Amino acid sequence: MARMDVLTHLASFALVAGLLTIMPGPDTAIVLRAALARGPRHGFATAFGIGSGTLVWGAAAAAGVSAVLTTSRVAYTSLRIVGACYLLWLAYGLLRAAWVNRYTDVEAAPVAGAKAAPGLWSAWGRGVLTSLTNPKVGVFYMAMIPQFMPSGAPHLAFGILLALVHDIEGMVWFTAIILGANSLRTKLRRPRFRRTLDATTGTVIGAFGIGLAATDG
């Protein structure tokens, strides 16, 4: 396996994966919301969760596991429905928060009886689930990884390497989003903005969920 051959395949995949990375999707929406509402640490925890899910998809595609999604309509439809339900559940939580929560200013004391903010593990888990319940990610990897696999390369190891390339691009993109959000966070974390943020994010994620549920194939 020639070194130039490997670099050529990695560079080609990086170009395709980079275009996918910057396309708007539920992953961008939940990272932005986490960064604005909870701060950079929660934004990065969510982003790392999405990256962890991406690695799982990459390994599964390299091992041939996610081939089931492209050959079995029942498997694909089942995962699509689960993913849509998860996104709609996220959307419901955000829209409900926007409707019933008593938001406070960042400088104010917490509202008595308010629930504690979700921890970093919770943010990471939300990112993982958002990635793993999106069947389009699995189909993308199953379609792309074989095309960018050099002759003689170990499938599992190279598949994970390709997923790492995608993860690095994703983290660069998410870092730009998180740092940009953090620069505005002091001004925009007022109660009215936080309510608008939850309502907007819930609507966007809900639209993705409905779109995923309505997708046929």
* Domains identified in the chain, total number: 1
In a domain? residue 76: yes
In a domain? residue 185: yes
> Both tokens of residue 99?
């409707």
User: Which structural domain range is residue 62 located in?
Assistant: 3-10+27-104+117-214
In a domain? residue 97: yes
In a domain? residue 17: no
> Both tokens of residue 75?
């498997």
Confidence at residue 121, expressed as pLDDT on a 0 to 100 scale: 93
In a domain? residue 44: yes
Point out the residues of the chain with pLDDT beneath 70: 1-4, 65-72, 75-76, 79, 101-118, 185-190, 212, 216-217
Neighbours of 12 (CB within 10 A): 13
Question: In angstroms, rounded to a whole number, what is the distance separating the alpha carbons of residues 9 and 191?
Answer: 48
In a domain? residue 111: no
Confidence at residue 26, expressed as pLDDT on a 0 to 100 scale: 84
In a domain? residue 148: yes
Question: In angstroms, rounded to a whole number, what is the distance separating the alpha carbons of residues 209 and 91?
Answer: 8
The mean pLDDT of the chain is 78
DSSP 8-state symbol, 102: -
pTM over 0.85: no
How far apart, in Å, are the Cα atoms of 59 and each of 54, 74, 209?
A: 9, 22, 25
In a domain? residue 15: no
